[in-house]
Amino acid sequence: MITSFDIGGTAIKSAVATADGQIGAAHRVPTPTHDFAAFAAAMQALIDAGGPTEGVAISIAGVIDPDSGRIKCANIPGIDGRTLAADLSAAFGLPVWILNDADSFALAEARAGAGRGHRNVFGLILGTGVGGGLVIDGHLVGGPGGLAGEWGHGPVAAQFAGTPPQAIPRFPCGCGQTGCLDTVGGARGLERLHGALGQPGLDSRAIIDAWQAGDAAAERTVAVFIDLLAGPLAMLVNTVGASILPVGGGLSNSAPLIARLDAAVRAAILRKTDTPIIVPGQSGAEAGLIGAAWLGLEKLGNQRG
């Protein structure tokens, strides 16, 4: 057995994972965000409560450089810049494996969700912003800097979108570039587009509700949003050969929005299919725990092998 963790800026969740990838009841404690010793102690208490374990697998909202092992984690300053796996392994006396939350979602969907039976799976995150992870033949695809799957960054967002075409500002992105898809995708992107199209400030849920109720201004915003994302996603599908793109994050809760995005992407890809390829994820609220569990079990198996 291994102990699986899903860690964010608010809470640390843990569960025991068995050799078949099943996870037990989840337990949670508040995340100590500024003190590494307190952070490690909170995790140790959850490990002890779960009983004997052979290792620790962690899904976390951060980026881990595979070369240095250092993590970039803005919402937990106490671990930012640390060689987190090595530091925690020393504290626990156990092997520790870490992956970011988008990769964890992708792995959970590939192994236990909508991606089961598919060779190439791209886990698509439409949350506050956009993100993703790629799984091929059941294994996560990594890359320099730990940034594989980050399709939302790069100055490629179209400057005109919708029918008739609407001018779209090139918004500055938190990554330092201008015109990234992350600035117009996800919940904040939908809200930003609504304002740029001359509409009053609304949160993403209100925009989607208005769209579903037939509001013309919300329909225009959603049409622009879909147009901006569909082309880049079609290129992603053509490039990596993904046959399914399970969606996680807050916007995945709108089935009509995901269905509309799916239709637009399928119309733009080279492979023609009547079967949806962009679908709501199935791994639920515990995707982080499930994805981390599968990673840990794979790593443990490799060590034994």
| Sequence-separated (6 or more) residues with CB below 8 Å from residue 164 | none
Two tokens at 118? 């598919």
| Sequence-separated (6 or more) residues with CB below 8 Å from residue 236 | 122, 151, 242
Region 131-159 average pLDDT: 90
The fourth-level CATH superfamily of domain 2-100+285-304 is ATPase, nucleotide binding domain (3.30.420.40)
Is 16:53 a contact under the CB 8 Å cutoff?
Answer: yes
| Sequence-separated (6 or more) residues with CB below 8 Å from residue 267 | 230
CATH architecture of 114-281: 2-Layer Sandwich (3.30)
pLDDT confidence bin for 74, thresholds 50/70/90: confident
Query: What share of the chain in percent tops pLDDT 70?
Result: 100
Give the three-class secondary structure for 124: strand
Element (DSSP H or E) covering residue 7? strand 2-7
Q: Out of 29-33, 131-135, 279-283, 296-300, pick the least confident.
A: 296-300
Region 269-295 average pLDDT: 94
pLDDT confidence bin for 145, thresholds 50/70/90: confident
Q: For residues 209 and 232, what is the distance between their CA atoms, to the nearest angstrom? A: 26
Q: For residues 71 and 64, what is the distance between their CA atoms, to the nearest angstrom? A: 4
Two tokens at 171? 């918004």
Q: How many residues does the chain have?
A: 305
Write down the pLDDT at residue 300. Answer: 85
**pLDDT digits over 82-123, tens only?**
999 999 999 999 999 999 999 999 999 999 999 999 999 999
Whether residue 142 is predicted with pLDDT greater than 70 in this model: the reply is: yes
Write down the pLDDT at residue 62. Answer: 86
pLDDT confidence bin for 158, thresholds 50/70/90: very high
Whether residue 182 is predicted with pLDDT greater than 70 in this model: the reply is: yes
User: What are the distances in angstroms from CA 228 to CA 93, 162, 182?
Assistant: 48, 8, 11
Nearest to 82 by CA among 112, 60, 56: 60
Write down the pLDDT at residue 301. Answer: 80
Q: For residues 55 and 64, what is the distance between their CA atoms, to the nearest angstrom? A: 19
pLDDT confidence bin for 43, thresholds 50/70/90: very high
Two tokens at 279? 């679908």
**Which residue type does 254 have?**
S
pLDDT confidence bin for 147, thresholds 50/70/90: confident
Query: What share of the chain in percent tops pLDDT 90?
Result: 86
Write down the pLDDT at residue 157. Answer: 95
Q: For residues 116 and 134, what is the distance between their CA atoms, to the nearest angstrom? A: 14
Name the β-bridge partners of 3: 16, 56
pLDDT confidence bin for 305, thresholds 50/70/90: low
Same fold, 2-100+285-304 and 114-281: yes
Tell how far CA 278 is from the center of its chain. 14
Q: Locate the domains of the chain by residue range.
A: 2-100+285-304, 114-281
What's the whole-number average pLDDT of the chain? 94
To the nearest 5 percent, what fractions of the chain are helix, strand and coil?
A: 40, 20, 40
Region 126-130 average pLDDT: 94
Tokens 């990234």, located at residue: 180
DSSP assignment string, 198-261: TPPP--HHHHHHHHHTT-HHHHHHHHHHHHHHHHHHHHHHHHH--SBEEEESGGGG-HHHHHHH
